[in-house]
């Protein structure tokens, strides 16, 4: 998924994905160089990360 798709899937903003996702353990993959580089996330990794964020007792 690209950054926009990841943001929509997580119901977060695009800037949040750029800023916080790598810091929280969601690993981006970079394709290309410089300004034209594309950042992507694996769907399975996003889903796995999301499951880990589940709060028990709610």
pLDDT tens column, 14-24 = 999 999 988 98
Q: Quick one: what percent of the chain has pLDDT higher than 90? A: 71
Cα–Cα distance between 7 and 21 in angstroms, integer?
10
The end-to-end CA distance of the chain, in Å, is 29
Give this prediction's pTM. Answer: 0.82
């Amino acid at each position: 998924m690209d950054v926009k798709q990841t943001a929509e899937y997580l119901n977060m903003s695009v800037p949040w994905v750029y800023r916080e996702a790598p810091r929280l353990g969601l690993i981006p993959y970079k394709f290309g160089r410089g300004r034209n580089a594309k950042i992507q996330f694996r769907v399975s990794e996003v889903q796995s990360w999301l499951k880990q964020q589940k709060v028990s007792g709610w």
